[in-house]
Structure 1
């Protein structure tokens, strides 16, 4: 455990000035700020909406962008940036020759990539809640304060995080084994486009393709049952999320054995 913690802390110091690290902060801040400006400047179009619909319209600006292309692309970039630090400085052999187990090094790198993804999703949640409540203060006619959607927003972004784990595991392994930019990133981008096409066309087996999971998670997020019109529940553990978790676990463990047996340059 000590080796894991030392490696994890080392990842922070190595990446704290990279775009991968700052992207986890800048991306949610930029998108939610744009959503705030859009609703603020067009408030006359939203003033007659009931509070629940106001929250839905406001949050879908962030959720729509993240659930289609931005989340898979950011996940691909995070996986690449964490491993690119070692590729660029040619320190893989040095890293694996340290008196720390390969499992600790490999696990720390992976969970640091997951940590960046978690920070990004957590900030999206907090900033959506914060900016929504700020709108009710600066534009009192927008009655955001009359409906509480905090729990649902946390559940949706949590579901999106889970849906991206299969992509993270695959891209983490590819970027670890291939030092160049084109192979892991290029394959990831192509797979993301294919996944978006499969999910948008609602192919019945799209849930088996990990790069379609974020969009699939968005489509399956509302529990289908009767109830009051001002109440809805988020269905977190749908089949696309379960497949994402299974792929993430299998590829993560397989990746360790591949790295253990392979001479990493």
Structure 2
């Protein structure tokens, strides 16, 4: 456990000045700020919108982007950037020669990538809630304060996080084995296009394809019930989430055995 914690801490120090780390902070900030600017400058168009509809429209600015191309591509980029630190400096042999188990090194790298994706989506939820309430304070005519959906927003972004883990595990393994940029990123981009296509066409088996999971998670996130319209209930654990978690576990374990038996250059 000590080796894992040391390796995880090392990953933070190595990446804290890289685009991979700062994109986890800047991406949600800039997109949430864009949504804030749109609603602030065009507030007259949203005055008559009911509070619940107002929150949904405001939230969908970020969710609409993250649930299609952006989250899969961001996940692919994070998986690449975490391993690229070692590829660029050619320190894989040095890293695995340290008196720390390969399991600790491999696990720390993977879970640091998981942490960056989690951080990004957690900040999306926090910035959306914060900027929405700020709009309600400085633009009282926008009735943001008349409805609260903080819990639902956190559930939605957590579901997005779970749905991205299958992609992350696959891309992490590919970027671990291939040092160049084009192979893992190119395959990931093509797979993302296929995933978005099958999800947008409502293919019944799209939940089996990991690169379609973020979009499938967004389109199937609301439970259809007969309750009042004010009650939005998020369906957290759908088939796509379960498949994503299973793929993540299987690929993560497979990757460890590959790393354990193969000399990584």
* Counterpart for residue 24 of structure 1: 24
User: TM-score by structure 1 length?
Assistant: 1.00
- 1:263 and 1:232 map into 2 onto residues whose CA distance is 51
| Deviation of 1:260 (Å) | 0.6
| Deviation of 1:42 (Å) | 0.9
- 1:220 and 1:136 map into 2 onto residues whose CA distance is 29
- 2:93 and 2:220 map into 1 onto residues whose CA distance is 44
| Deviation of 1:231 (Å) | 1.2
* Counterpart for residue 243 of structure 1: 243
| Deviation of 1:230 (Å) | 1.3
Matches within 5 A, 1:78-97: 78-97=78-97
| Deviation of 1:202 (Å) | 0.5
* Counterpart for residue 121 of structure 2: 121
- 2:232 and 2:226 map into 1 onto residues whose CA distance is 9
* Counterpart for residue 151 of structure 2: 151
Q: Which runs of 5+ in 1 are unaligned?
A: none
- 1:215 and 1:45 map into 2 onto residues whose CA distance is 28
Runs of 4+ with deviation above 4 angstroms: none
SS in 2 for 1:179: coil
- 2:133 and 2:50 map into 1 onto residues whose CA distance is 15
- 1:187 and 1:260 map into 2 onto residues whose CA distance is 24
- 1:90 and 1:136 map into 2 onto residues whose CA distance is 51
- 2:258 and 2:205 map into 1 onto residues whose CA distance is 29
1:2-51 CA deviation, whole Å, 9 max, x = no partner? 00000000000101111000000000000000000011111111100110
SS in 1 for 2:112: helix
Superposed CA RMSD: 0.4
User: TM-score by structure 2 length?
Assistant: 1.00
1:106-151 CA deviation, whole Å, 9 max, x = no partner? 0000000001011101100000000000000111000000000100
Residues 1:220 and 2:210 aligned together: no
* Counterpart for residue 202 of structure 1: 202
Residues 1:44 and 2:44 aligned together: yes
* Counterpart for residue 166 of structure 1: 166
- 1:5 and 1:229 map into 2 onto residues whose CA distance is 46
* Counterpart for residue 188 of structure 1: 188
- 2:63 and 2:9 map into 1 onto residues whose CA distance is 31
Q: Number of residue pairs matched?
A: 265
Residues 1:230 and 2:230 aligned together: yes
| Deviation of 1:232 (Å) | 1.2
- 1:20 and 1:201 map into 2 onto residues whose CA distance is 32
1:67-112 CA deviation, whole Å, 9 max, x = no partner? 0010000000000000000000000000000000000000000000
SS in 2 for 1:114: helix
1:48-71 CA deviation, whole Å, 9 max, x = no partner? 011000000000000000000100
